[in-house]
Structure 1
Amino acid sequence: MRSILLAFAASVAFILPASAENVTVAVTAIVEHPALDAARDGVKEALEAAGYKEGENLTFVYQSAQGNPATAAQIARQFVGDAPSVIVPISTPSAQAVVSATRDIPVVFTAVSDPLGAQLVKDMDKPGGNVTGLSDMSPVAEHVALIKEILPNVKTIGYLYNSGEANSVSLLAVLKAEAEKAGLTVVESAATKSAEVQGAARALVGRADAIYIPTDNTIISALEGAVAVAEEAKLPLFTADTDSVSRGSIAALGFNYHDVGKQTGEVVVRILKGENPGDIAVKVAAGSDLVINKTAASKMGVTLPESVVKRATRTIE
């Protein structure tokens, strides 16, 4: 009789869907700002769509490093000690911290522009080991073209970034190459922490015809300081992050980070259901939105061309 019951229990366990298991997904980001928050929420939505519901069969843990790489490393070590089912680091610094902390727990990074340059994986198609994820490599060539379309007389682009963020250093190299093709030059101004952002933006006044901010978490977390400088100096400011347009940039062509999070969550689900992360190719997130802010353009002395207004997927008046 006992053997029959054991056999029955084993058969029930086998036919239960993977979503019936209790799993823990631990998520961390280098800092809190709208794009990264949207990615986190998208991950959770994808998990729920696959049947993993918080309070039922899912424990969803989230911690922000508040912009501090040392804190990111502490969070990574804590998560590894807690041994969750999957760790999801959002942003390059958080991903580097987590990947350095574990070779065993599955890791699915997201919002990382250059996974190879950040040394998270050695091969995008066959990452191997315990790591995979999504890249949000910006369409920099399209950004340069958009800036030229809005500002036909632009000659110099000011690049405002954190020189300590691998993602932003990689994007700087791409921007320089694309700017050269377009006959433009790039002027750099760096801020290594949020308190330095406004000063770094001010350093571009008189040296650049426009400011371009990449998907840099340090700069975006203190975007309002840069916007204030741009408005005062009538220096057009553009971002790679579409969520930043509502906060005062003129325009951005990029990803909807909630959708990026959902795509990331779908990869997490595959791992929860038994796939090996090292066998899942690292992909560049899909989707591209053009968001414009007419009020911001006016404050910075810019009239948006009708061609741009018509193409916009979202307009902020």
Structure 2
Amino acid sequence: MGHARLKVFEQSLEKLGWTDGRTVNIEVRWSGADTELTHRFAKELLAWQPDVIVTTSTPTTAAVKQETRTTPIVFTVVADPIGEGFVENLAQPGGNITGFVNFEPSMAGKWLSLLKEIDPRVVRAAGLFNPDTAPDGGAYFYRAFEAAARDLSITPFISPVRSDAEIDSAISAVAHKQGAGLVTMADSFMAVHRAMVIERAARHGIPAIYPFRSATADGGLFSYGPVVAELYRQVAPYVDRILRGAQPSGLPVQAPTKFELVINLHTAKSLGLDVPATLLTRADEVIE
């Protein structure tokens, strides 16, 4: 977890009677998008024989699941837990894993619609994702992305990337298409590498939408997605219930309840965009 997210989680746990170092011991590992490190940390934490493990992202959850079928796991920032084989169904997970999803497939259509709204000149749109870390290899979002593109008279195309060099090449290719925009799909690789995406999009003058506020705060044009702090706040009650004897199999997988639209006006101006007043009035936050 990032420091801010970890703090939200710890504070929420403390309100439920669990204080780190007193009534509970919390061990934290952060592997970013490093697959090898993720698997190593999964083994390390399970050797510690924890009562419950909290995972963030699909790759992290998959790595821990590979190592245990008994230790309770509570995931967050996972889009497709059924497709990934983490749970049998959302209402009754059925195993040692439960948690909180962050996106439904239809969100890809929402991102594209917002991109068209902020820049009506967009007639082509690239979906940027890493097939190794995106839900269902990217197909989870892309089907809705294509459907929305047809409705909006936008030509969609995919831009799968697995490295900094491929991000650079993909965005350069987008820049050569007239009327092109960029939708950064939600996956852990794209989150870790968002700074490069933001910089390259700005360099080439490409309007881009992101799934999390952090990208907009870092200079991205705008974002729409769940309030990340709420995702981590939601996890605490499930951890509390498991520590008190509940089984993950009986705790339903839940969806986010709070979403936010964040617009960076400074970036919009640098792109020569006049953000529609209708969009600004709907924004939860405008960064000047």
For the criterion TM > 0.5, the same-fold answer is: yes
What does 1:34-113 correspond to in 2, within 5 Å?
37-113=3-79
Determine if the alignment matches structure 1 residue 250 to structure 2 residue 231. no
| 2:161 alignment partner in structure 1 | 191
Q: Secondary structure at the match of 1:269?
A: helix
Count matched residues: 283
Q: Contact 1:191–1:197 at 8 Å: present in 2 too?
A: yes
Q: Contact 2:164–2:196 at 8 Å: present in 1 too?
A: no
| 1:165 alignment partner in structure 2 | 133
Which of 228, 233, 243 aligns to 1:272? It is 243
What is the RMSD computed on CA atoms of the aligned residues? Answer: 1.8
Q: Secondary structure at the match of 1:61?
A: coil
Deviation at 1:199, TM superposition (A): 3.1
| 2:99 alignment partner in structure 1 | 133
Deviation at 1:296, TM superposition (A): 0.9
Deviation at 1:194, TM superposition (A): 4.3
| 2:196 alignment partner in structure 1 | 225
Deviation at 1:172, TM superposition (A): 2.3
Greater shift in the superposed pair: 278-287 or 296-305: 296-305
Structure 1 residues 147 and 70: alpha-carbon distance in aligned structure 2, compared to 1, 3 A threshold: same
Structure 2 residue runs without a partner (length 5+): none
Q: Contact 1:135–1:284 at 8 Å: present in 2 too?
A: yes
Q: Cα deviation per residue 1:102-135 (whole Å; 9 max; x = unaligned)?
A: 1111000100011112221121111111110000
Q: Contact 2:198–2:215 at 8 Å: present in 1 too?
A: no
Deviation at 1:193, TM superposition (A): 3.0
Determine if the alignment matches structure 1 residue 179 to structure 2 residue 179. no
Q: Secondary structure at the match of 2:261?
A: strand
Determine if the alignment matches structure 1 residue 154 to structure 2 residue 125. no
Greater shift in the superposed pair: 84-93 or 192-201: 192-201
| 1:308 alignment partner in structure 2 | 279
Q: Structure 1: how far apart are the matches of 2:53 and 2:60?
A: 11
Q: Secondary structure at the match of 2:175?
A: coil
Q: Cα deviation per residue 1:72-128 (whole Å; 9 max; x = unaligned)?
A: 111112222211011011001001111121111100010001111222112111111
Tell me the TM-score normalised to structure 2 length. Answer: 0.92
Structure label with greater radius of gyration: 1
Q: Secondary structure at the match of 2:98?
A: strand
Q: Secondary structure at the match of 1:211?
A: strand
Q: Structure 2: how far apart are the matches of 1:49 and 1:197?
A: 42
Structure 1 residues 268 and 178: alpha-carbon distance in aligned structure 2, compared to 1, 3 A threshold: farther
Q: In percent, how many aligned pairs have the same letter?
A: 26
Deviation at 1:40, TM superposition (A): 3.2
